[in-house]
Amino acid sequence: MDIRCTFQTLIALLVAALVVGAVYLTAETGYDLVQEDDDHKLINGSTSSSSSTYSGCDLFSGKWVYDNESYPLYKEEECTFMSDQLACAKFGRHDLDYQHWRWQPNQCDLPRFNATALLERLRNKTLVFVGDSLNRGQWVSMVCLLDKAIPPGLKHMHNNGSSLITFTAKEYNARIEFYWAPLLVESNSDDPVNHKLPDRIVRAQSIEKHARHWTNADILVFNTYLWWRRPQMNVLWGSFNSSDGIYKKVDMLRSYEMALKTWSDWLEIHVNRTKTQMFFMSMSPTHEEWEKSAGQNCYTETEQILEEGYMGRGTDPKMMRIVEATIDELQNRGLNVQMINITQLSEYRKEGHPSIYRKQWEPLTQEQISNPLIYADCIHWCLPGVPDVWNELLYAYIFNYASN
């Protein structure tokens, strides 16, 4: 009797262990599937409550449609303030199809950019792009989009070599500015010209030096991503001018989270939430290695990536999750920052970068001349081109086409 009971007990324990194990494995597998699915949603659209749609339409989910009748929205050579870093045709690019693509959301149409309407909205106001050279490229795109609607003599560009560049539409008393702050918080890369330093250092808890220049803006457009792409960051507690500062190497994702916390705390305290519209541009993907084969980048590329939902090595979903979590927390505290999710739509456009077709600020070496692949710019974007669509999305949000 005792032996039979013991045997039955062992059988029961074995069955229980198998059930628990099955549940555990299912949970683990389910987690992996959910995690992968969330990454896909995050890049394609958004899993965050900060995402916006109108009429049930996700502006970020769609496809590129060739349109050589309505695009480009301006001509490269006619933009008064075009940047030589982005003027690909001027520097020898002959395949200009990259200028003729329109973004088509799946369930609706993206509003057509109206320069006069936006200038009226900006009358007596200031729109500021804050971030790195990709945000500066979007700012140049915005200036070019508005340029043709402003008569000669009624527009002015002011750049005194500081971090702030101001474009003014005099008739509207409207200012469209760019402020160089590649990591948003203070860093040793804050000089707008001499910022390529081998040892990057951030003061992850200090933003006042930058923020005082844009806190009172009416519309703020932020980005920060590319300058964080390294395994660790050197974080400084203290001042660059003090000898008693504490330096520590911190995991990149943790330091990125710290910096965005500093940024969000500043916004919560100092920004007038009844006046200022705020936006955060998601990461702009690079195509330095756009497929698994080594040595393949955007050089000589003339066609898009056609794989739906493609996500390359130049995109980091973990960083996007930190941004979304930060924005969601701000929203819980009553401050609305909208994320403009440009990542997936830009992923497809491996042919949209300057590659070798831009002004070279430093003389090329003989090695570079003999192998153009190694100096091709697969980070920034030709204009007219992809950043114009980013601004069309921003335009839709500014005019509340997209609202919760």
Q: State the catalytic residues.
A: 133, 377, 380
The helix/strand/coil state of 173 is: coil
Beta bridge partners of 246: 237
Cβ–Cβ under 8 Å, residues 246 and 204: no
Beta strand 337-340 with 101-105 is: unpaired
DSSP 8-state symbol, 6: H
Please work out, in degrees rounded to the nearest 5, the angle formed at the alpha carbon of residue 183 by the alpha carbons of 296 and 350: 25
Measured CA to CA, the distance from residue 47 to residue 35 in angstroms comes to: 12
Instruction: Specify the DSSP class assigned to residue 150.
Output: S
How many CA atoms within 13 Å lie on the side-chain side of 145? Answer: 30
Q: How many residues does the chain have?
A: 404
**Cβ–Cβ under 8 Å, residues 102 and 68:** no
- CB 281: neighbour CB atoms within 10 A? 25
β pairing state of 174-180 and 164-169: antiparallel
Structure tokens at 173: 């008393």
Judge whether 219 and 143 are in contact, CB under 8 Å: no
Strand pairing of 164-169 and 155-158?
antiparallel
Angle, nearest 10°, between helix axes 386-398 and 133-147? 80
d(CA 186, CA 204): 7
* Spatial separation of the C-alpha atoms in residues 394 and 340, rounded to whole Å: 7
CB of 98 within 8 A of CB of 301?
A: no
Quick check: 238 and 147 in contact, CB under 8 A?
no
SS3 state of residue 139 = helix
Please name which of 296, 294, 321 lies closest in space to residue 378, comparing C-alpha atoms.
296
Answer whether 72's CB lies under 8 Å from 388's CB: yes
